[in-house]
Structure 1
Amino acid sequence: MSSPRMQWVSQRIVETFESTVTQVEVNEFLASPGTRKLFDELLSGKDACKVFVHFQNGATVATVENGAAPATNADAAAASNNNSKLCVSLGNSIPVRAKCCFFLRTTADGKPVDVQKASDNAICFGELAPNILRDLETTISSLFSPLLKAKDEWGKADADLKNEFMTESEKFANDLKEALNSMDSGLELRRPDRSIL
């Protein structure tokens, strides 16, 4: 954990979950074998090109005993040394039910990341919330659409292209909003009367 890159990773995780984890807990989590293995693969340019770090309730994630990866799911690991709910995945085994962060390698496969540099463009960091689609819809509808409508100068694009772009953007935002409302409403079907069956 002594490399500048892993110190940077540790700081980003603490900042993401600052009210729920301490620096010591994050360092213990990163030192656990399962977690360390995934970050080593990420930094060495091997299979893992992205790593997600989650903080979720213990009942919803696969946990690890004594830092060893679970035999049934090598993609997920969590630190048990500190009783925290931090866990790590490649992004396809743990659903995003709460805020999480990710580290994405931008270098080509097989090319290792310089771990002596704390931060550069070889590893991107970001955070995801559980309501990603709702956030996207709000950003498009409330931020980008008004900004684009207010813009008068579109460079070499003529008025027809501008209108077509704005129409398609609004259509996409409306479709996204309708899909989200449909998902949120929840359809409840009643069981038919026994006489009908």
Structure 2
Amino acid sequence: MIYPIVVYGDAVLKKAAVDIEEGSIDVKQLAEDMFETMHHASGIGLAAPQIGKSIRMFVVDGSPLEDEDMADFKKIFINPEILWEDGDSWTFTEGCLSIPGIREDVTRPSRLKINYLDENFVEHEEEFDGMRARIIQHEYDHIEGILFTDYLTPFKKRILKGKLANITKGKCDADYKIKLPKKR
């Protein structure tokens, strides 16, 4: 099932998500749906809040990057916790399915260690670096209620204010179905 992507301005994107209790939902089906939704939108990562579910889960698939190192990077992260981040910080232009049409430079540490459960609720603790770490950091931010635009300078945020306001109204170009924030 392909879900609509929740866009900028929806409260679900700005609140910390809750842990998933084993057996409370069908995480395998949800993961399958999230991968289908992400691939349909040409994404490389998707967090549950981006489909309107405030739970601590995200999926990643680096294979569309056509980088040999990313070909086998397809994972499901349930109730993840980043244990540490370090390494040389590096800047890369990030985009987000929930903020269509906007890409900006974000600086992040190059390495991390994360503890998470897979779709079978088996615990893992792994280290990632480079682009793999960046994708995880971006998606992890989503389950913490953080968007990549939160890392921008006040000046840059002022420049983007109009574009962001347009996204909340659905005035944006997305090649996938979006879900607008509820009117207050």
Higher helix share: 1
Bigger RCO of structures 1 and 2 (CA < 8 A, at least 6 apart): 2
Using structure 1 for the length normalisation, give the TM-score. Answer: 0.24
Structure of larger gyration radius = 1
